[in-house]
Amino acid sequence: MSDLLGQEHITSVIQNAAAADKLAHAYLFYGPRGTGKTTLSRLIAKLANCQTRQDDAKFKAKGEPCNICTRCTEIDAGRGIDVIEIDAASNRGIDEIRSLREGIRLAPTSYPYKVFIIDETHMLTKEAFNALLKTLEEPPAHAILILATTEYEKVPATITSRTQRFHFRKHSVENIAKKLKSIAVEEKLDVTDDALEFIAALAEGSFRDAESLLQQVCSLDAKVDLATVERNIGKVGFSRTSELAALILNKDLKGSLAYVKEISDGGFNVVDLTKELIHYLRRVLTLRFNPDLEAELCKELTAKELETLKAHVQLVNSSTDQLINLLKALLTAYSQMRYSPFAAIPLEVTLIEHLQ
């Protein structure tokens, strides 16, 4: 269930519906990868079919599955006989939707509800969407359809309008780091907190990506700290980007150039560094003009990182024009260096031009 951390706005609606025995027949879940769409789909399948809920009215009113009955455990393991998961990305779902249209009419084999979970719904062909639409127009009483997608706008309005829709938000860095920490403790991984925070930031809102990155990094080294992750990924974390930004904002040309050289000599990707620097300075600039953005930024950054960023905002109070010009120049440098055999040069030249 910890996959659903941060999606409480959705889980509570669904649990209330389940408590009142009013689950919908069609749902559409949309949002970025790894934000809990599959977990919530399975939660609905369990709510609809849990044996304990079926037998115990008092338990049913709680709006939770028991997670221990045979049906719950089967569904959790992806073996639920009447829970059919369809991946629309593979062969674009033509055969699957055809068999869904036929299969959905038949009564469930052993559960009260047949639950169809269609992943990557936006990948369906026009024909498959048409077939799906016919099913959505008159879903049988024993069926629940859950459509999941990362690209809401590619799903036809005729389909979306017939579903109950939920938007899944990106997970915050703090939440991802918290979850990674619990995995690290459970699996006795020797990994520092700042390394976990960096991995969490790299995952860009996805629990799944963060977990696989953690496993990858820990399989390479027995002891993992921030430097280990940076070395393995070839990218620098917030702290290094922020140190470089501090030198730049303090107009320390000599220090900035030395820092770029050090990072480049360390085998890190200077193009990525520039990209991170652009992101960083952009955050400084936007926060300078709109302090309300802090609420958004705290999803992408840890509390400590946000404090550092805010301290840097103070440095640009009187020189925003210079920062705007530097940002524009960095964007140009970034597009040049991506195709240049001398990746560091556009960055260095930009710094020299703007920090003198």
35 to 74, contacts with Zn ion by CB under 5 A? 50, 52, 65-66, 69, 72
DSSP secondary structure of 256-288: HHHHHHHHHHTT--HHHHHHHHHHHHHHHHHHH
Q: Please, are residues 164 and 27 in contact by the beta-carbon 8 Å criterion?
A: yes
CA distance 158 to 131: 12
CB of 49 to Zn ion, least distance (A): 8
Residue among 31, 32, 12, 15 nearest 23 (CA)? 15
Q: Between 144 and 247, whose beta carbon lies closer to Zn ion?
A: 144
Angle at 171 (CA atoms; ends 79, 193), nearest 5 degrees: 105
69 to 98, contacts with Zn ion by CB under 5 A? 69, 72
Q: Between 62 and 299, whose beta carbon lies closer to Zn ion?
A: 62
Give residue for tokens 């620097």.
277
Contact between 232 and Zn ion by CB under 5 A: the answer reads no
CB of 35 to Zn ion, least distance (A): 25
Q: Between 14 and 201, whose beta carbon lies closer to Zn ion?
A: 14
Contacts of 349 (CB under 8 A, 6+ apart): 333
CB of 166 to Zn ion, least distance (A): 23
Distances (CA, A) of 144 to 42, 97, 137, 198, 299: 12, 14, 13, 39, 33
Q: Please, are residues 87 and 73 in contact by the beta-carbon 8 Å criterion?
A: no
Q: Between 52 and 308, whose beta carbon lies closer to Zn ion?
A: 52
121 to 140, contacts with Zn ion by CB under 5 A? none
Contacts of 342 (CB under 8 A, 6+ apart): none
Q: Between 66 and 253, whose beta carbon lies closer to Zn ion?
A: 66
Q: Between 69 and 203, whose beta carbon lies closer to Zn ion?
A: 69
Q: Between 79 and 188, whose beta carbon lies closer to Zn ion?
A: 79
Angle at 108 (CA atoms; ends 164, 88), nearest 5 degrees: 50
315: number of Cβ within 10 Å: 17
Instruction: Report the interface residues with Zn ion, using CB under 5 A.
Output: 50, 52, 65-66, 69, 72
